[in-house]
Chain A
């Protein structure tokens, strides 16, 4: 790790100003990903701008009946929040499926969204990696890629985004609120992360120096229920092989609202728009769920060692949707 400066931001404006003055700076929140990557030599900031104590640690109801979650709310507090547990259980479940109790006590909303891939080559500075060193190559295409992408990848990068929380936020139609020196903007979470294309070094559409200030959840559609389920190599404290976040509303046996997102399949949480189109208006049966999942996963291009993910994702989606339909009945 190289020596670096440290500044505790006193306000959002202060954080943005220090970042603007130091191009090699990085924001520090819980540190559970950034400090790890600094130890590995993958991240080499010149200055850490500590945003953890900024007054962005609140969860508030919005006028429209949604929820505004501050960027520094800790993952454990968000998972335990009564309004999250009652209205957005998929979000609570996704957070509780991630990492460990100790890590969730330090990790924040903003940091969770911006955590980097767990691709082993990315984390090993002795190996080439287009994401870490653009142009150096992607050894994962031919090498170890069992955990990596089956959808939306490119010859330049086949990494997956590791966040569980982001998958739930994607299905729940959440948006990310951003502040930069030139003002504020919001992006749907489903468009916040990128596909790798030929610029795999860019995980997201965040502009240099831009700060995530919060995440907004819109109100719950009438009669809708949601859930998150994750499949991994061990029962707890492991990253997802595949995960599913879904929201469903059923009236008189017909699906009136459907939202579906997959984790562990792509460089970003994968919003299953094709499946959703098939679901809305269809009868809430296992056959409809299977057809919708199949239509979505038709686009899959598995690598040598991860074709199992396609089948697993389809089965998991059918199971989660079936459970939601059963509960609604």
Chain B
């Protein structure tokens, strides 16, 4: 049996080429042995049949594989699954609650923010990440320099103007060019 990721004597573990990992995917603990070359994207799609995240480029350039890892949006195609043992992974499939679409998903439907739909699960996960980053006051390049905050206290949320949305969503390409509707959909759910 393969050793658990990174456990035991490091010098010994260096010899093994596969490990057992547990990923909490959309709220369900999934334990599997992965070859160390396996990306989180391939583990999800090929091993766990979670096919919401898509493989567009496999090189970090298109955003189709965007998922939320421990609450933050990331590109599953560049994350080695073994390195994320224990992580909570949320994909487009896991966003709805009690059969109701997540507000971002509902906005994409209402705005018709897709054509072929290939980029959509990644767009939706990315938008969910954008909303929480903005709520936590994380700036983007489009954010005007605010009053300096050197003291304690949380930074104020960033208002998601269309310019902010375009800048923050720029890592998600849409080959069908549904950008105008995507920006509108994200704008609809922004507070």
B-binding residues in A (CB < 8 A): 1, 3-10, 14, 17-18, 21-22, 25, 28, 30-32, 35-36, 38-39, 47-48, 50, 52, 76, 79-80, 82-83, 85-87, 89, 92-93, 96-97, 99-103, 105-106, 235-237
Contact = CB atoms under 8 A, between A and B. Distances in A.
Secondary structure at the B interface, as helix, strand, loop or mixed, is loop
16 contacts: A6-B5, A21-B11, A31-B79, A32-B60, A32-B78, A35-B78, A47-B14, A79-B138, A86-B149, A86-B150, A100-B172, A101-B129, A101-B169, A102-B66, A103-B60, A237-B170
Interface stretch (B25-33, B92-100, B104-112, B139-147): B139-147
Given A6-B83, A14-B10, A102-B129, A83 B150 contact: yes
Contacts of A105: 72-74, 129
Contacts of B11: 18, 21
B22 interface: no
Interface string B118-157: 0000000010011001001111110001101110000100
Contact of A9 (B10, B19, B59, B148): B10
B114 interface: no
Among A28, A30, A236, chain B packs the most CB atoms within 10 A around the CB of: A236
Nearest to A106: B74
B79 A5 contact: no
A5 B139 contact: no
A82 B129 contact: no
B139 A102 contact: no
Contact of B80 (A6, A89, A102): A6
Contact of A4 (B17, B60, B79, B150): B17
Contacts of A100: 63, 170-172
B188 interface: no
B45 interface: no
B36 interface: yes
A86 B14 CA distance: 43
Contacts of A25: 14
Given A85-B149, A101-B133, 20 more contacts: A5-B17, A5-B36, A6-B5, A30-B78, A32-B60, A35-B79, A36-B78, A39-B58, A76-B72, A82-B148, A82-B149, A82-B150, A85-B148, A86-B149, A100-B63, A101-B171, A102-B129, A102-B171, A105-B129, A236-B167
A19 B139 CA distance: 37
List 6 A-B pairs, minimum CB-CB distance, nearest first: A100-B171, A8-B6, A236-B170, A86-B148, A3-B17, A5-B14
B145 A89 contact: yes
Given A101-B133, A102-B66, A3 B35 contact: yes
Interface residues of B, number: 51
Contacts of A85: 139, 145-146, 148-149
Contact of B59 (A17, A22, A39): A39
B73 A21 contact: no
A105 B76 CA distance: 12
Contact of A28 (B63, B66, B80, B167): B80
Contacts of B138: 76, 79-80
B166 interface: yes
B141 A6 contact: no
B141 A8 contact: no
Interface string B54-79: 00001110010010000011110011
B155 to A, nearest CB: 6
Nearest to A97: B141
B91 interface: no
B37 interface: yes
Contacts of B136: 80
A87 B145 CA distance: 12
Nearest to B122: A102
A31 B80 contact: yes
A301 B79 CA distance: 39
A106 B79 contact: yes
A83 B150 CA distance: 6
A102 B73 contact: yes
Contacts of A9: 10
Given A28-B83, A32-B75, A39-B59, A4 B171 contact: no
A36 B62 CA distance: 13
A50 B81 CA distance: 12
A4 B80 CA distance: 12
A36 B78 CA distance: 7
B153 to A, nearest CB: 9
Given A31-B83, A96-B141, A7 B14 contact: yes
